[in-house]
Amino acid sequence: MYTLIACVLILATAQAGPASGVEELVRKLRSRYDKIDAPGCGQRPLAPGNGVSELTTRIVGGKESMPYTWPAICSLRYVQEPNNHICGSNLVKNLAGEYYLITAAHCLNDTRASRYEAHCGIHDRADESEPHRIIVHFNNLYIHSGYNSWTMDSDIAIFKVVTSLPTNMFISAVCIPNEGWTDGEISIVAGWGALSSGGSSPYKLHQVNKPIKPRSICEQRYGVGAITPRMLCAGLPNGGVDACTGDSGGPLYTYRENRWTLTGIVSWGHGCGEVGKPGVYSDVIELKDWINTVLNFL
């Protein structure tokens, strides 16, 4: 990898001129391909075989998750309305081992970090007696400067966690991917969102499997201008499985190299599970430079 970076450095020096521009290019390349989060991420309290076997079946068309087997997912809420689920979210760790929470920017009507809390280590979002539940608070909120509420471009936000969290099988970080997704790669979406378009939301965490669609299919379904380079699509040709209201900000997980990675963030779509309308997600690998800056340089 660093041989490639060295070659790019030589070419960039010849073309770009100022050293500062070259250094920025190299930083971006390293950020894209290097690991930017702490070791030990992406583990679940299931044997690897059991985890992979789930990659066969929103959360429309999905099923209830096995309790406490997605330890990175949290329910984002307002401090003043702690019983009302707003959006999904996911715990990640920086290189120093500090926790952050990633969600979708469109979930946030208030830009003050102190107005939010996340309930982590849960399965039933309404059961306050669950033994692993921890309420997480924040001291900083970072919203991507390129976020556009009209186009939903760069739909990502990150909270800095101030609550002390245990690292165990019930609460832990998901991995940031080191490489991009592939066409047809099977992913899992999880959340507490509605089970049908306009329908009720479950109290218990649900999940569903979805193949990631080629960009050409996504653009064909929504139009070239609607799908930016920072978006990806996932879904079945005949619909029936999808994320829905309340799943926003939650994960699109993929299983790679014996660990679970946050490949996408639930962002938008046309209805829930409609035929020919795959769900649209913020593409984490395309936003990795910004994520790295927030996690490790701010």
Positions marked catalytic: 106, 155, 248
Distance of CA 186 to the CA centre of its chain: 15
Quickly list DSSP for 173-240: PPBPPSS---TT-EEEEEES--SSTT-PPPSB-EEEEEEEEPHHHHHHHH-GGGS-TTEEEE--TT--
Nearest residue to 45 (alpha-carbon basis) of 261, 260, 264: 260
CA pair distance 189, 90, nearest whole angstrom: 12
CA pair distance 75, 27, nearest whole angstrom: 33
Give ∠ CA 248-287-104 in degrees, rounded to 5: 15
